[in-house]
Chains A and B, each alone.
Chain A
Amino acid sequence: MRYAASLTTILVLLWLGISGVYKPLILGLGVASIALVVWISRRMDVVGVEHNPALYSWRLPLYWGWLLWQIIVANLQVAACALQPSRLRPSVVRVPVPHKTAVGKVTYANSVTLTPGTVTLLLNPGEMTVHALHPASREDLESGAMAQRILWLEAGRSDSGADA
């Protein structure tokens, strides 16, 4: 029930943010469609611990801010490579994945792919295989800074959640 409530809140905010037309008929249609989506989601059993973004609390925006900065820095490195391809030193590395929850693992793998210069090839239990474009991006990854940030993000969950 708690998950249905937070899903409803998020959908209401999304609808109000996108619509911009606040007439009774349109609002009524919005309420009806949100109710339908929540009902279908509950029937499909996809409303649960893992799918609830509200669990990440205040730590998520901080992580996004840090990730944004990493993306900008990594982009400049890849752009330099594009202009001077002799800098390329592609390699494949395995890095440990210390996270317990499925959401933590997916966040890590997705963040690595999102950062230019590193692409996740395979995610196995306990480790993942990553393609790195040049030594700097590989060292960033092997330093484990991003994994630490996501551990911190995981620790901030208000509910420990189901294991993967």
Chain B
Amino acid sequence: MAELLDVLSGILLLAGGAFAIIGGIGLVRFPDFYTRLHAGGITDTLTALLIVGGLVLQSGFSLLTVKLLLILLFLLFTTPTATHALARAAMADGLEPEGDADRAAERRDGAESSNT
């Protein structure tokens, strides 16, 4: 039982680490500021979920679990605020996202008339 939990938490921690690396790769490879925000979102959400999940399995059912879940709760509440603040700051500075609303509408119309 304890071994099973160890293996399971190990898998969660490793997966969390893997997604952190993928988020980092995205951060470097994505073309502009706004798309990079999305890559940062991977480390904010799934990585945090997987790593806290893995640590909860290690801690068992105790006060430590409560603290870990509180860390996750506060992370999930604060990171969208930070992301939004960054996006707003970029917009206020006049940085235009690639693919504006009109072009997006055109692309959508085009996609609907073709196959997707």
Q: Which residues of B contact A37 (CB under 8 A)?
A: none
Q: A85-B31, A90-B32 are in contact. Are A78 and B26 (CB under 8 A)?
A: yes
Interface centre among B35, B98, B99, B104, by most chain A C-beta atoms within 10 angstroms, is: B35
Q: How far is the CA of A153 from the CA of B43 in the complex (A)?
A: 27
B114 on the interface (CB 8 Å rule)?
no
Whether B22 and A83, one on each chain, are in contact in the complex, defined by CB atoms closer than 8 angstroms, is yes
- Which one, A75, A92, A115, A118, contacts B97 given CB within 8 A? A92
- Interface majority SS on B: helix, strand, loop or mixed? helix
Q: 1/0 contact trace for B3-47 toward A, CB 8 Å?
A: 000000000000000010011011001111011011101101110
Whether B91 and A78, one on each chain, are in contact in the complex, defined by CB atoms closer than 8 angstroms, is no
B80 on the interface (CB 8 Å rule)?
yes
- Which one, B77, B80, B81, B104, contacts A91 given CB within 8 A? B104
Cβ contacts A to B, 26 pairs, < 8 Å: A14-B70, A17-B70, A20-B63, A82-B25, A85-B31, A90-B32, A90-B34, A91-B99, A91-B104, A92-B97, A110-B77, A110-B80, A113-B83, A114-B44, A114-B45, A116-B44, A116-B46, A118-B38, A119-B83, A119-B84, A121-B84, A122-B91, A131-B97, A133-B35, A135-B116, A138-B108
Q: Which residues of A contact B (CB under 8 A)?
A: 14, 17-18, 20, 68, 71-72, 75, 78-79, 81-83, 85, 88-94, 109-111, 113-122, 129, 131, 133, 135, 138
